[in-house]
Each structure stands twice: as C-alpha cells, then as structure tokens.
C-alpha cells in the first residue's frame, strides 16, 4: 500500500507535466483545428528560457543587486518565462501558421514539424550541444508521510500545475477572449462577423498554450535539472496523445488524460520491467482510443463548417 502511494505521488508529478503540455495542444487543436507539432519544442524553449531567467536572477541575487529569497526567484522565473515563451508561441503562430490558415491541414502539420526542428537546431546553434543545468531554486526537503516519501518539489510542482489549470479554466469561462475561443471551437468562420478579431484570438490561444508549456518546462527543470535541446520531442508526442485522448479542445479532458498518462506509465513500470513501460502503456492508450475514438470529452464531428 505504501508502495502504491509512493507511485501515486510520482504519477501525479509526471501527469502534471503531460497535462500542462497537453492543454496547449488541445486548445490549439480545438480552436484552430491545427496540430501544433512544434508544441513539445515550445516546452523545451520554455525550459531554456526559464533556465536563462533563473540563472540571471540567481546571479543578480548573489551579487547583492537584488535581495531576493529563492522562492521569490522561482515565482518570478515562472511569471517572466511564461510571458517570454508566450511571445515565442505568438511568433510561431504569426510566422508559421497564420499564412496557412486556409491551407490543407497537412501543410500546417508539416510546418509544425519544421518549426520544431528549427527550434531544436536553433537552440543547438545558440547554446551548443552541451547540456545545461537548471539552477537549484528549492532546497529539496523530503517528508515522510506514513512511509511515503514526498519531496517539497513534488508538492510544489503538482500544486502550481493545478493552480495554472484552474486559472485556465476560469480564463476560458470568464473572459471575453475565452468566450471567443469557445465560440471559435464550435464555428470558427462566423466569429469575426460578431466583431471579434480572430487573429488576436488565434495569437492569444498560442500565447496561453505556450505559457502553460513554459511552466511545465520550468517545473520539469526544478525536478530534473539537466536540459537538452531534444527534451521536448518525447514530451511533445506524449502530450499530443493526451490531448487526443482528452477529446478535441476539452480542457478537462486534456488535464485528466495527461494525469492518466502519468499514472499508466508509472504503474506499468511498477509492475513490469521499465524497458517495457512505453510499449505497454501506449498499447493501453491505443485500446482506449479504439473504443473511444473521439477521446473522453470529444464529440463526433465530420467536417468543420467554413464559409
């Protein structure tokens, strides 16, 4: 039983990463009918920007220019990095996707793959092949709760993730931009006729998704401080799976599916040899999708209405 809860804690942490990234995938897919295959690499970019911001703030603090406690550095890093990565996401939308808005979806998907490669290799060109180390912002403390070991980092990661998901939910429900996003997910083409600038909403969708991916990048850096330019690929694919599993454009779906993915992976590894983890885990997902091809909360649809 202790063993189960230990894995549950780990699964929650992994699920947080997947869910945060999946949300961006799902939103872009739901609202713009577009698979942003560069999204995993946005997660990577976020981790690196977070690395840069955190390193800079730590340096400033150690020089005595800013007297900041480390927790405040972490908060600032998250806020600044989310903002900067949002700008990257908006740039990707503007440069790579907007010109292809009316193009066949396959073209846009290929563009996404190319943007991903550009971000990876651009990072290589900029920082070289060496891995970088995310600065330590939280001193690890381990709590023993009835035999289950929980670190303060894990708690922080799960709590921050849940707060961000809650914020996203409120954003989509309460703001006019969120309302426009929901409308666009149902029928995209008529939204501008209500006086809504859809380019702004499209850019904002990318900004929000990229910001969440950036948060995942920082949280990942806090837990696993070694970053490399290709770290986004596998995460991107798995988050993509979670987005599909959750159902098109469903925030709740992407969140639950992200956590489910984390659970399945961790618990498969608990029972089977860890080399078989992904093989078995993704066979299970495949099986679920066979019975629910539209995901948990997606509804069957044929073609989307366009004018």
Partner 1 sequence: MALLRVEKMGHDFGGLRAVNNYNLEVESTQVRGLIGPNGAGKTTVFDLISGIYSPTEGSIVLDGKSIVGLQPHQIAAMGLGRTFQNLRLWRHMTVLEHVKMARYSKISYGLIGAFFGTPRRKREEEEIEEKARGLLDLMGIGRFADQVVVNLPYGAQRRVELARALATEPKILFLDEPTAGMNPEELVQMMEIIRLIHKELGLSIFLIEHRMKMVMELCEIVQALVFGEVIAEGTPEEIQNDSKVIDAYLGREAVH
Binding residues for partner 1, rule: CB under 8 A, are 167, 170-171, 174-176, 178-180, 182-183, 186-187, 189-198, 305, 307
Measured from the CB atom, the residue of 187 and 283 that comes closer to partner 1 is 187
- Residue 81 beta carbon to partner 1: minimum distance, rounded to whole angstroms: 18
Structure-token pair, residue 225: 């401080």
Number of alpha helices (DSSP H) and beta strands (DSSP E) in the chain:
10, 4
Rounded Cα distance, 288 and 243, in Å: 13
Instruction: Pick between residue 148 and residue 190 the one whose CB is nearest to partner 1.
Output: 190
| Closer Cβ to partner 1, 196 or 288, answer by number | 196
Spatial CA neighbour of 26 closest among 217, 296, 280: 296
User: What is d(CA 121, CA 89) in angstroms, rounded to the nearest whole number?
Assistant: 17
The nearest distance, CB 195 to partner 1, in angstroms, is 4
List of E strands, the chain:
132-133, 142-145, 148-151, 226-227
Residues 6+ apart with CB under 8 A from 95: none
How many C-beta atoms surround the C-beta of residue 31 within 10 A? 27
> Minimum CB separation from partner 1 for residue 179, in Å?
6
Q: Do residues 26 and 251 touch, judged by C-beta distance below 8 A?
A: yes
Q: How far is the CB of 193 from partner 1 (least distance, A)?
A: 5
Rank residues 13 and 250 by Cβ distance to partner 1 and give the closer one. Answer: 250
Determine contact, residues 74/82, Cβ cutoff 8 Å: no
CA-angle at 78, arms to 76 and 84, nearest 5°: 100
**Minimum gap (Å) between residue 298 Cβ and partner 1:** 12
Residue 232 token pair: 């986004």
Query: Of the two residues 64 and 195, which places its CB atom closer to partner 1 in the complex?
Result: 195
Judged by beta carbon, residue 91 or residue 179, the one nearer partner 1 is 179
CB of 197 vs partner 1, minimal distance in Å: 5
């Amino acid at each position: 039983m202790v063993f189960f809860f230990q894995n549950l804690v780990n699964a929650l942490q992994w699920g947080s990463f997947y869910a945060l990234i999946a949300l961006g995938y799902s939103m872009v897919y739901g609202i713009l009918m577009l698979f942003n295959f560069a999204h995993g690499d946005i997660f990577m970019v976020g981790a690196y920007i977070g690395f840069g911001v955190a390193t800079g703030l730590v340096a400033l603090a150690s020089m005595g220019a800013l007297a900041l406690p480390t927790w405040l550095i972490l908060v600032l890093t998250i806020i600044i990095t989310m903002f900067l990565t949002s700008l990257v996401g908006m740039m990707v939308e503007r440069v790579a996707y907007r010109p292809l808005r009316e193009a066949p979806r396959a073209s846009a998907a290929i563009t996404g793959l190319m943007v991903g490669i550009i971000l990876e290799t651009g990072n290589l060109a900029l920082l070289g092949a060496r891995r970088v180390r995310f600065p330590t912002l939280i001193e690890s403390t381990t709590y023993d709760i009835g035999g289950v070991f929980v670190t303060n980092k894990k708690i922080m990661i799960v709590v921050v993730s849940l707060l961000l998901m809650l914020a996203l939910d409120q954003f989509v429900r309460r703001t006019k931009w969120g309302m426009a996003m929901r409308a666009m997910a149902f029928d995209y083409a008529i939204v501008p006729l209500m006086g809504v600038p859809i380019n702004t909403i499209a850019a904002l969708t990318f900004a929000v998704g990229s910001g969440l991916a950036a948060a995942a990048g920082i949280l990942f850096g806090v837990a696993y401080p070694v970053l490399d330019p290709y770290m986004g690929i596998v995460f991107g694919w798995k988050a993509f799976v979670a987005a599909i599993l959750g159902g098109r454009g469903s925030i709740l779906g992407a969140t639950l599916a992200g956590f489910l993915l984390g659970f399945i992976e961790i618990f498969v590894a608990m029972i089977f040899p860890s080399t078989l983890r992904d093989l078995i885990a993704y066979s299970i997902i495949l099986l679920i999708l066979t019975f629910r091809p539209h995901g948990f909360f997606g509804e069957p649809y044929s073609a989307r209405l366009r004018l």
